[in-house]
Amino acid sequence: MKLNKTHPLYQEDIRNILSLIDSDRLKGKSFLITGATGMVGVMLIDVLMSIDGVMVYAVGRNKAKAQTRLGDHFGNPMFSFIEQDVCQPFCEELKVDYILPMASNTHPLAYSQYPIETMLINIHGAINALNLADKSGATVVYTSTNEVYGNAIANEEFTEDYNGKLNLSNARSCYNESKRSCEALCQSYIAEKGVKVKIARLCRIFGPTMLESDSKASSQFIKKAIAGENIVLKSEGNQYFSYTYVADAVYGLLTVLLNGEIGVAYNVSSEKTNVHLKDFAGLCAKCCGKEVVFDLPSEAERKGFSIAMNAILANQRIKELGFKPIYTMEDAIGRTMEILKP
């Protein structure tokens, strides 16, 4: 399974994003992006590198991995890879217009096996990005998560001021609680130092830029479908979640960057891709002509699973910025499989 960036559908995704944002406002701007080799980071960089005069500083811990994910940009004078752990401070001489701290463990096995690392990457990564912004005058677009809301109390949608049930009694809370803390840090840097920060709360992202190591259920479904195998569902699949195709997520992120207000959080979601987990599995099975089968999760997998059963993100606020999601669930799954299949 390998991302084919020259595939017509992937190139169409990039053109779709560029057609829906005011890319002229980004010409000549510079970006520092951590988590550059992640699912969202790769497509975001591919979009930005398609805009005249944009300079991208991509941060990652492993240059060899970055070359496999972003190798088409190495050698371009408008692209620079910085091999660095985000837990370390950035060079103070680095001057950029925008900072997007996106480095994070973002899948269940990592939460289960490395909860301390998960927290430290999120918190130190945010602090170092905010400190650089304080010194350079850059605007930070902080990528948060639907998990900051906790678990739904009833079947209501999560608006940006929603507070659900919290469970702090297990290590699985490492991700959501560190992200909540990072949002508080953002607001604190705004209040105390006048740093410019906008917040984009992403939901469950899927798409062709997924990593082979991704253990999220949606990624497992897609990998099984591409391999022509039955789709394995490790629960009853009654969870009802907001998912977002990666191209819509990047489009939403850039909408917040360009049009969002300082200190305001925006849900990045699409009502077109809200779905029950069992239906996501069913769509993947339909695409490959296989069936959905049930299995028990391993102990490590079980510990990393979210216990949420309902997590639908309202998107009225970001729509007021001009965001209009593009893809249906069927289209997004189909595109992902076409781009990734051998």
pLDDT value, residue 152:
81
The C-alpha atoms of residue 185 and residue 164 are separated, in whole angstroms, by 20
Position 307 pLDDT exceeds 70: no
Q: pLDDT per residue over 186-202, tens digit each?
A: 999 999 999 999 999 99
Residue 1 lies in a domain: no
pLDDT value, residue 234:
82
Residue 183 lies in a domain: yes
The strand pair at 240-245 and 30-34 is best described as unpaired
pLDDT value, residue 300:
67
Residue 336 lies in a domain: no
Residue 261 lies in a domain: yes
Q: Which domain holds residue 153?
A: 8-209+243-272+312-328
pLDDT value, residue 318:
98
pLDDT value, residue 294:
85
Residue 234 lies in a domain: no
Residue 302 pLDDT class (50, 70, 90 cuts): low
Q: pLDDT per residue over 144-200, tens digit each?
A: 999 999 888 777 899 999 987 777 878 888 888 999 999 999 999 999 999 999 999
Number of domains within the chain:
1
The C-alpha atoms of residue 249 and residue 23 are separated, in whole angstroms, by 16
Contact 5, 208 (CB under 8 A): no
Residue 40 lies in a domain: yes
Residue 298 lies in a domain: no
Per the confidence metrics, is the pTM higher than 0.85?
Answer: yes
* CATH code (residue 68): 3.40.50.720
The strand pair at 240-245 and 274-276 is best described as antiparallel
Q: Which two three-digit tokens encode residue 124? A: 């130190």
Q: pLDDT per residue over 260-299, tens digit each?
A: 999 999 999 999 999 999 999 999 999 888 899 887 677 7
Residue 222: its H or E element: helix 217-226
CA dihedral 147, 152, 156, 161 (to 10 degrees): -50
Mean pLDDT comparison of 42-56, 102-116, 204-218, highest-scoring range: 42-56
For 13, phi then psi, to 5°, come to: -55, -45
Residue 337 lies in a domain: no
Who contacts 11 (Cβ-Cβ below 8 Å, separation ≥6)?
5
The C-alpha atoms of residue 63 and residue 71 are separated, in whole angstroms, by 10
The C-alpha atoms of residue 327 and residue 341 are separated, in whole angstroms, by 20
With both helix axes pointing from N to C terminus, report the angle between 173-193 and 115-136 in degrees, rounded to the nearest 10: 20
